[in-house]
């Protein structure tokens, strides 16, 4: 598929997937007692309120044009752990809700792909490509966000898990994380080797096969 064709399919899928990701954080936070996101209008399916121009637009476009793995992030949902009854445990659940929502979307997309392939219903090339990218992007987002480097969800999950016994390491993850992440992204952009791709692709391939039966 031409690169412009990929952009026309991938960007709307990515925007939808990131919106669901952030809404999952917001809804889970409210479930456990923090309504900050609702007060700030972030429990919304309007993608505009969740857009981060670097993570939602620029990096995905560069990834598509560079032929590499597609990843990104949206504007983080504001969460105040003080409102939780169990701040450390509840923050882990809130952080995990985003990647979990993407895996659920990927699973649903995989079921639809299997159904289409089995029955032949709506088996047009463009529809199959949209489904494929939908599953691939959501798996990629889930795996990417579970990397334990700030500001990704994995840093909140891992950081809160170790904060009681190793608060210094948890602090370092939050402080140095953005620098490490940007370094990893830049390495993938300026060299033929992507550390992020090397870390993520085995997991992406495994979930793609589990959800769709497709190996690559």
What integer pLDDT is reported at residue 180 of this predicted model?
92
Task: Show the low-confidence residues of the chain (pLDDT under 70).
Answer: 1-6, 63-70
What integer pLDDT is reported at residue 43 of this predicted model?
94
The total domain count for the chain is: 1
What integer pLDDT is reported at residue 118 of this predicted model?
87
Count CB-CB contacts under 10 A for residue 57.
Answer: 15
What integer pLDDT is reported at residue 45 of this predicted model?
93
| Residue-range definition of the domain harbouring residue 157 | 3-212
Burial class (CB in 10 A: 0-12, 13-18, 19+), 162: middle
Yes or no: say if 74 and 60 are a contact pair by the CB < 8 Å rule.
Answer: no
Burial class (CB in 10 A: 0-12, 13-18, 19+), 82: exposed
Phi, psi of 71 (to 5 degrees): -145, 170
Q: What letters, b where the CB count within 10 A reaches 16 and e where it falls short, cover 10-46?
A: bbebbbbbbbbbbbbbbbbbbebebebbeeeebbbee
Question: And the tokens for 195?
Answer: 């550390």
- What pTM was computed for the model? 0.92
What integer pLDDT is reported at residue 1 of this predicted model?
46
């Amino acid at each position: 598929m031409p690169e412009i064709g990929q952009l026309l399919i991938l960007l709307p899928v990515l925007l939808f997937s990131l919106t669901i990701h952030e809404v999952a954080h917001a809804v889970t936070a409210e479930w456990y007692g923090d309504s900050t996101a609702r007060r700030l209008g972030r429990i919304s399916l309007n993608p505009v309120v969740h857009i981060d121009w670097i993570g939602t637009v620029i990096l995905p476009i560069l990834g598509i044009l560079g032929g590499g793995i597609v990843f990104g992030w949206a504007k983080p949902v504001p969460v105040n752990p003080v409102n939780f009854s169990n701040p450390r445990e509840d923050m882990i659940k809130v952080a995990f809700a985003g990647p979990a929502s993407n895996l659920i979307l990927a699973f649903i997309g995989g079921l639809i792909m299997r159904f289409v392939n089995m029955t032949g219903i709506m088996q047009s090339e463009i529809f199959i490509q949209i489904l494929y990218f939908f599953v691939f992007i959501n798996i990629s987002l889930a795996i990417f966000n579970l990397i334990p480097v700030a500001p990704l969800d994995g840093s909140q999950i891992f950081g809160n898990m170790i904060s009681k016994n190793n608060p210094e390491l948890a602090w370092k993850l939050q402080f140095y994380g953005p620098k490490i992440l940007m370094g990893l992204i830049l390495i993938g952009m300026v060299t033929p080797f992507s550390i992020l791709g090397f870390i993520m692709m085995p997991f992406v391939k495994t979930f793609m096969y589990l959800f769709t039966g497709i190996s690559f």
